[in-house]
Chain A
Amino acid sequence: MEIDQKREIRFNEETMATVQKIIKRYPEGREKSALIPILHIAQAEFDGWLSPATMDYVASILNIQPIEVYEVASFYSMFNLNPVGKCLIEVCRTSSCWLMGAEDVVRHIEKKLNIHVGETTADGQFTLKTVECLGSCGTAPMMQVGHEYHENLTLEKVDELLNKWKAEGKRSRYC
């Protein structure tokens, strides 16, 4: 993935208003509590990952040291510290999903997109990851794309979704 070094890192007014609203949820002097919610917003705004520039920007908003942001961003698995494709596909692989065929789903997507787990397609459209239990055990196997849960997967259903997403240039987003 190529990194756009000139990418401007700054929230627009509307997003900044949302951010300020979140900060107000916490008592005075405890604004750092807003760090994780703001990192989610920053990741969604700035290409799906947290570059050092993005993290420094978030630190400046909360008036904390950049290291305080780095140590948090590197702890939580939903924060991407490297660029990802437009559409991040996360397949659950823990117990119940495995029992119901998650490995078949992963291998199928690998074949279909011609990438391995952890890789991004050459056109930058898809990144494939495996993740630990997403609380969808009764509707296994499943995969998450942004805030969408796709459950009770079959290989046919996966094909259908991938074809659709390819055609529409799908973007995965949480916020």
Chain B
Amino acid sequence: MGKKLLLEHVDVPGINTLSVYRQKGGYASVEKALKTMTPEAVVEEVKTSGLRGRGGAGFPTGMKWSFLAKPAGVPRYLVCNADESEPGTFKDRYLMEKIPHLLIEGMITASYALGARTSYIYIRGEYFYVAQILEKAIAEAYEAGLLGKNIFNSGFDHDCYVQVGAGAYICGEETALLESLEGKRGNPRIKPPFPAVAGLYGCPTVVNNVETIAAVVPIVNHGGAAYAAIGVGKSTGTKLISASGHIKKPGVYEIELGVPVEEFIYSDEYCGGIINDRKLKAVVAGGSSVPILPADLILKTAAGEPRLMSYESLADGGFASGTMLGSGGFIVMDETASVVKNLYTFTRFYHHESCGQCSPCREGTGWMEKIMHKILDGDGTMNDIELLWDIQAKIEGKTICPLGDAAAWPVASAIRHFRSEFEEYVRRGHSIKDVKHYYSTKGIPEPAYS
């Protein structure tokens, strides 16, 4: 069993309540930080821990915190990114639903480190029931004096509020999130200035993912060095993985970074293997944005080394033969799944979610969806595959925010690793129309919907 830092007590009955949470040592990090540490010392511990942003980008959290501008007389903000919308990712929802006080505790401790008097948890609107759970936890924390004025008699005041979004993937991008929090459309801002200098209401702001903020709790409790001792290389600590698709035991798993991918998929401790013991075909390892990899390349690197669940190992080989850890949205496809149809759901998703600000993304995502639709309908030509490749290449790196890249990478990787499947769709022409888009093991499409 791997070490659990975030989900250790997740199955304890009543852990969502303050009393049980405190019995299990909850809010110790707040007490320790406020009573015995300076804000700078907390930032140092987070730096030492090697914690990297758990929302997907993997940027070192301590470094991000140290960039925060501190002009006198200007309020600073901590904003929690709970807009979790990356297809395949549901870890933050699980954490907030099961153990909401862990996030609140992290918000207070992190806010102390950053000198933020006010913090906001921006949660996607669809998670309305989770927002209610958080509201209840916050009310309990106020009641107990853990939020509000003079927390633990330290002189530190803090208010934390929940803000619900209203259905927009783009608001997971930190500057779009801030726009949304200000009551506007979720259009990402041009950077610089970065939020650390001019964020919410033009004030210095840190935006961190739910899991990142929660991880501050064990880091302060046990020290940054103890956290850094877990994991492998620059992938320190534990990571929540959302496992879904054709596996026996889908769900959220807290892993020590560095677990072999093969063990993660097949061991009973994690996914438990493929449904009906069918063959593994492909994996999207870190949420819809990251490159899809075929079975051989997800289990072993191009050099033949076992692939590990870590930032570095998953990225080994670059985009030619590797992928990314991303948000940890681990989508498994068995041999019956059509990579082409799965890609169609992704292209449709990105077209739907493009904010429309940058032409390459606004137009390109629409084109890619339409071409994918054409191929699925059996009207595709070999040239369409080239056109898809061309369009994705013209989106990547040419937009204000990373949504453009996120839309391009799945297309590029699907063509790179599964070109023959696209060609098969083209060759079959109209006979592909109305099939269920599952290949049977004999390679014959299953019958249409009855």
Would you call B349 and A75 a contact (CB within 8 A)? no
Say yes or no: is A165 at the interface (Cβ < 8 Å to chain B). no
User: Which residue of chain A has its CB nearest to the CB of B341?
Assistant: A98
Would you call B87 and A138 a contact (CB within 8 A)? no
Knowing A39-B166, A98-B341, A147-B128, say if A135 contacts B180 (CB, 8 Å): no
Knowing A78-B125, A94-B87, A136-B90, say if A36 contacts B349 (CB, 8 Å): no
The residue among B92, B244, B333, B449 with the most chain A CB atoms within 10 A of its own CB is: B244
Q: Please tell me which one of the listed residues A93, A99, A103 contacts residue B331 in the complex, with CB atoms under 8 A apart.
A: A99
Say yes or no: is B181 at the interface (Cβ < 8 Å to chain A). yes
Would you call B183 and A36 a contact (CB within 8 A)? yes
User: Which residue of chain B has its CB nearest to the CB of A149?
Assistant: B129
* Among A8-16, A24-32, A81-89, A116-124, the stretch in contact with B: A24-32
Main SS class of interface, B? mixed
What is the distance, in angstroms, from B241's C-beta to the closest C-beta of chain A? 10
Would you call B245 and A100 a contact (CB within 8 A)? yes
Bound: A101/B185 CA distance, A: 33
Would you call A138 and B161 a contact (CB within 8 A)? no
Say yes or no: is B52 at the interface (Cβ < 8 Å to chain A). no
Bound: A131/B345 CA distance, A: 11
Would you call B126 and A144 a contact (CB within 8 A)? yes
* Among B106-114, B225-233, B246-254, B305-313, the stretch in contact with A: B246-254
Contacts of B128 on A, CB cut-off 8 Å?
146-147, 174-175
Would you call A135 and B342 a contact (CB within 8 A)? no
Contacts of A62 on B, CB cut-off 8 Å?
183
Contacts of A174 on B, CB cut-off 8 Å?
125, 128
Q: For window 169-205 of chain B, which residues contact chain A by CB distance below 8 Å?
A: 169, 180-186, 201
What is the distance, in angstroms, from A122's C-beta to the closest C-beta of chain B? 24
Say yes or no: is B291 at the interface (Cβ < 8 Å to chain A). no
User: Which residue of chain B has its CB nearest to the CB of A72?
Assistant: B185
Would you call A71 and B185 a contact (CB within 8 A)? yes
Contacts of A139 on B, CB cut-off 8 Å?
250
Q: Please tell me which one of the listed residues A75, A133, A149 contacts residue B168 in the complex, with CB atoms under 8 A apart.
A: A75
Knowing A137-B331, A149-B129, say if A99 contacts B164 (CB, 8 Å): no
Question: Binary interface profile of B, 420-450, with partner A (CB < 8 Å = 1, else 0)?
Answer: 0000000000000000100000000000010
Contacts of B250 on A, CB cut-off 8 Å?
137-140
Bound: A175/B167 CA distance, A: 15
Knowing A30-B182, A99-B246, say if A138 contacts B166 (CB, 8 Å): no
Would you call B168 and A76 a contact (CB within 8 A)? yes
Contacts of A107 on B, CB cut-off 8 Å?
449
Contacts of A55 on B, CB cut-off 8 Å?
none
User: Which residue of chain B has its CB nearest to the CB of A134?
Assistant: B126
Q: For window 107-160 of chain A, which residues contact chain B by CB distance below 8 Å?
A: 107, 131-140, 144, 146-149
User: Which residue of chain B has its CB nearest to the CB of A148?
Assistant: B129
Contacts of A99 on B, CB cut-off 8 Å?
244-246, 331, 333, 337, 342
What is the distance, in angstroms, from A69's C-beta to the closest C-beta of chain B? 9
User: Which residue of chain A has its CB nearest to the CB of B88?
Assistant: A137
Question: Binary interface profile of B, 84-96, with partner A (CB < 8 Å = 1, else 0)?
Answer: 1111111011000
Bound: A136/B130 CA distance, A: 13
Q: Please tell me which one of the listed residues B89, B132, B164 contacts residue A40 in the complex, with CB atoms under 8 A apart.
A: B164
Say yes or no: is A77 at the interface (Cβ < 8 Å to chain B). yes
Q: Please tell me which one of the listed residues B164, B182, B185, B349 contacts residue A132 in the complex, with CB atoms under 8 A apart.
A: B349
User: Which residue of chain B has its CB nearest to the CB of A107?
Assistant: B449
Contacts of A77 on B, CB cut-off 8 Å?
166-168, 352
Bound: A33/B245 CA distance, A: 37
Would you call A138 and B242 a contact (CB within 8 A)? yes
Say yes or no: is B379 at the interface (Cβ < 8 Å to chain A). no
Say yes or no: is A65 at the interface (Cβ < 8 Å to chain B). no
Bound: A123/B199 CA distance, A: 48
Bound: A30/B181 CA distance, A: 10
What is the distance, in angstroms, from B107's C-beta to the closest C-beta of chain A? 15
Say yes or no: is B270 at the interface (Cβ < 8 Å to chain A). no
Say yes or no: is A57 at the interface (Cβ < 8 Å to chain B). no
What is the distance, in angstroms, from A159's C-beta to the closest C-beta of chain B? 16
What is the distance, in angstroms, from A175's C-beta to the closest C-beta of chain B? 8
Knowing A36-B163, A76-B167, A77-B168, say if A133 contacts B86 (CB, 8 Å): yes
Bound: A78/B124 CA distance, A: 10
What is the distance, in angstroms, from B366's C-beta to the closest C-beta of chain A? 15
What is the distance, in angstroms, from A51's C-beta to the closest C-beta of chain B? 17
Q: For window 273-318 of chain B, which residues contact chain A by CB distance below 8 Å?
A: 284, 288
Say yes or no: is A52 at the interface (Cβ < 8 Å to chain B). no
The residue among A34, A93, A94, A148 with the most chain B CB atoms within 10 A of its own CB is: A94
Say yes or no: is A95 at the interface (Cβ < 8 Å to chain B). yes
**Can you list 29 A-B pairs with a CB-CB distance of less than 8 A?**
A25-B161, A27-B118, A33-B183, A36-B125, A36-B164, A36-B166, A36-B180, A72-B185, A77-B352, A94-B87, A94-B345, A94-B349, A95-B331, A95-B349, A96-B88, A96-B245, A132-B87, A133-B85, A135-B92, A137-B88, A137-B331, A144-B126, A146-B128, A147-B128, A147-B129, A148-B129, A174-B125, A174-B128, A175-B128
Q: A33-B181, A99-B331, A137-B87 are in contact. List 8 more A-B contacts (CB 8 A).
A: A30-B182, A36-B180, A37-B163, A39-B166, A72-B184, A76-B166, A76-B186, A135-B84
